[in-house]
Amino acid sequence: MTFLQRATSRTGLAVLALVCAIGLWIFVINDGFRAGFLDRNLEIQASNVQEGLALSEALPDVSVQVKAPADLWAEFPDDELSASVDLEGLGIGTHEVPVEISVRNPRIIVLERTPEFVQVRIDQVTTIEKEVDVEVSGNVAEGFVTKDPEKAIDRVELRGASGALSRVARILATVTLQGEEEEVRHLAPLVALDSNNNPVEGILVNPGTVEIRIPVEREQTVNTVRIEPRTSGTLPSGFTLTGVSTNPSTIELEGTQEALAAIDVVPTQAIALENVRESYEREVTLELPEGVTVKDDRRVIMRIEIAQQQATRSIVANIETKDVPNGLEITSLSPSSAALTVAGNKLTVDGLDPAGVRIVLSLTGKVAGTYDLPIAATDVQLPGGVTLSSVDTRSVRVVLEQK
C-alpha cells in the first residue's frame, strides 16, 4: 500500500468517525425533547421609549415555536419566555422593528417566532379630559329599585399618545348589582373605550378609579286618588262660600303597596276663612302619611269662591212731589209715606239709611181735584248697591186746590 492510499484510508475513517459523532450528539441532545408551538401567544412589551413619546397602537401578540424537554410541556411555566421590541432612538412615526424573545431556561430553544418584525407607531404624548360614563348591570333584591348612579367625580384626565387618545370615545365605570337592599358604594376602575366599546391600550387614566353611589329604595307603587279641599273657620258676616276646588282634582301618589292601600282620598292643608272677603287661589300642600309622596312633585292649586250674601229689607220712605202747576197747591197727601222692599248684598242692605230713599211723584198737567196716583218703580230713587224689589203701597191720594 502506498503512502497516498494509506492517507486516503485514514481520512475516510476520520470523516466517518466525525459523522458518527455528530449523529450521536444529535440523538443525545434530542432525546427527551419535543418541538412545538406554545399554547398561548406572548404579549410584546416595548422598551426604551423616548421621554414624551408613546405607542399610539397596541402591539400584536407573537406566536412562538420552541424545543423544550418533555417534562416542561406538561405544564409550561408562563414566565419562561417573554417578547419585546427595543425602541431606543426611534422618534415620532411608523417603524418596523424585530421581535426579540427572551428565555430564562437554557433548556428551551426558540425555533420560530411569528411575526418576526412588527410595525410600531410612535406619537407625541398629550393630555385630554373626558367625562366619566357609568353602566350598571345586575339587579337589586326583589321589591327594591335603584335611582340614578352618582359619581364622586365627573371628569378625568387621560394621558397617552395623541393617536391613541383620538380613538377614545368614552371613559367607562361599571358596577354590578347582586341583590342589594341598601345603598351601594363601589370603587370602580376606569377604562378607556373606543367607539366599538373595545379598550384603547396605552392610555393612563387619572384617577384610575371613581367611587359610584347608587341609592337603593323599596319599590314604589303609584296610585291615583281624589284630592279633598279643606277649610277652617267661618267667613266674615255678609259673605258666603260658593265653591272650593283644586287643580288637579286627583293626584298620583307614590309609596309602598302597604302605605297606599289605605288611601282613597288625600286632604289638603286647611285654609282659614276668617279674613277672606273675595275669591282667590293659592298653592297648598297635601296631608300625606309617612312614606307617601306626590309623583313628580306636582303642584296643587286650591281655589276659594266667595260671594256676598243677598238680602231683602222692608223700609218706609217719605213721599215727595214735584211739578205742581202754578196757582195750585196740595191740600192733602195720603199716605205721606210708602212701604218698599229693597234687595242687595247683605252688608249694603243692612246698612241702608231709609232717609236716602226717595219717592217723588210728578203732578205735571194736573188741575184742581183729587187724584189717586200709583207709585211706579220709576218714582223710587235708591242709592247704589240696592235694587227695588217691590212697592208695597200701591197708590197715594193727592188733593189739589186753587190757592
pLDDT digits (tens, 9 = 90+) for 110-149: 999 999 999 999 999 999 999 999 999 999 998 888 999 9
Cβ atoms of 193 and 201 within 8 Å: the answer is no
Q: Can you list the alpha helix ranges (DSSP code H) found in 1-129?
A: 3-30, 70-73
How far apart (Å, rounded) are the C-alpha atoms in residues 256 and 267?
A: 19
Choice among 106-110, 114-118, 245-249 with the minimum mean pLDDT: 106-110
Work out the number of other CB atoms within 10 angstroms of the CB of residue 108: 19
Q: Is the pLDDT of residue 251 over 60?
A: yes
Check residues 53 and 258 and name the one with the higher pLDDT: 53
pLDDT of residue 14: 53
Average of per-residue pLDDT across 161-185: 95
pLDDT of residue 6: 45
pLDDT of residue 403: 84
Angle formed at CA 123 by CA 119 and CA 126, multiple of 5 degrees: 150
Choice among 22-31, 123-132, 171-180, 325-334 with the minimum mean pLDDT: 22-31
Question: Nearest-CA neighbor of 190 among 129, 124, 122, 127?
Answer: 129
What backbone phi and psi angles, to 5 degrees, belong to 331? -100, -15
What backbone phi and psi angles, to 5 degrees, belong to 184? -105, 130
Average of per-residue pLDDT across 344-352: 90
Confidence of residue 174 (pLDDT cuts 50, 70, 90): very high
Q: Is the pLDDT of residue 7 over 90?
A: no
Average pLDDT, the chain: 89
pLDDT of residue 4: 40
Choice among 165-174, 206-215, 291-300, 388-397 with the minimum mean pLDDT: 291-300
> Cell 186753587 sits at which residue?
402
Return the DSSP state at 163: H
* Cell numbers given for 402: 186753587
State which amino acid sits at residue 379. D
Task: Say if residue 122 is exposed, middle or buried (CB neighbours under 10 Å; 0-12, 13-18, 19+).
Answer: buried
Task: Say if residue 15 is exposed, middle or buried (CB neighbours under 10 Å; 0-12, 13-18, 19+).
Answer: exposed
Q: Is the pLDDT of residue 90 over 90?
A: yes
Average of per-residue pLDDT across 212-228: 91
How far apart (Å, rounded) are the C-alpha atoms in residues 38 and 386?
A: 111
Q: Is the pLDDT of residue 291 over 60?
A: yes
- What is the torsion angle, in degrees rounded to the nearest 10, for the CA atoms of residue 252, residue 254, residue 259 and residue 264? 0
Beta-carbon contacts of 40 under 8 Å, excluding residues fewer than 6 positions away, are 78
State which amino acid sits at residue 44. I
What backbone phi and psi angles, to 5 degrees, belong to 27? -65, -40
Question: Nearest-CA neighbor of 251 among 217, 305, 292, 220?
Answer: 292
Question: Nearest-CA neighbor of 268 among 314, 297, 222, 299?
Answer: 299
73, 75, 302 from 39: Cα distances, Å? 10, 10, 77
Cβ atoms of 70 and 32 within 8 Å: the answer is yes
Cβ atoms of 223 and 263 within 8 Å: the answer is yes
Question: Nearest-CA neighbor of 185 among 199, 173, 196?
Answer: 173
Work out the number of other CB atoms within 10 angstroms of the CB of residue 202: 21
pLDDT of residue 3: 40
pLDDT of residue 73: 80
First-to-last alpha carbon distance for the chain, in angstroms, is 206
pLDDT of residue 347: 87
Which neighbouring-strand residues pair with 163?
A: none
Average of per-residue pLDDT across 18-24: 47
Dihedral angle sign, alpha carbons of residues 262, 268, 273, 279: negative
pLDDT of residue 21: 47
Confidence of residue 9 (pLDDT cuts 50, 70, 90): low
pLDDT of residue 23: 44
Which neighbouring-strand residues pair with 35?
A: 67
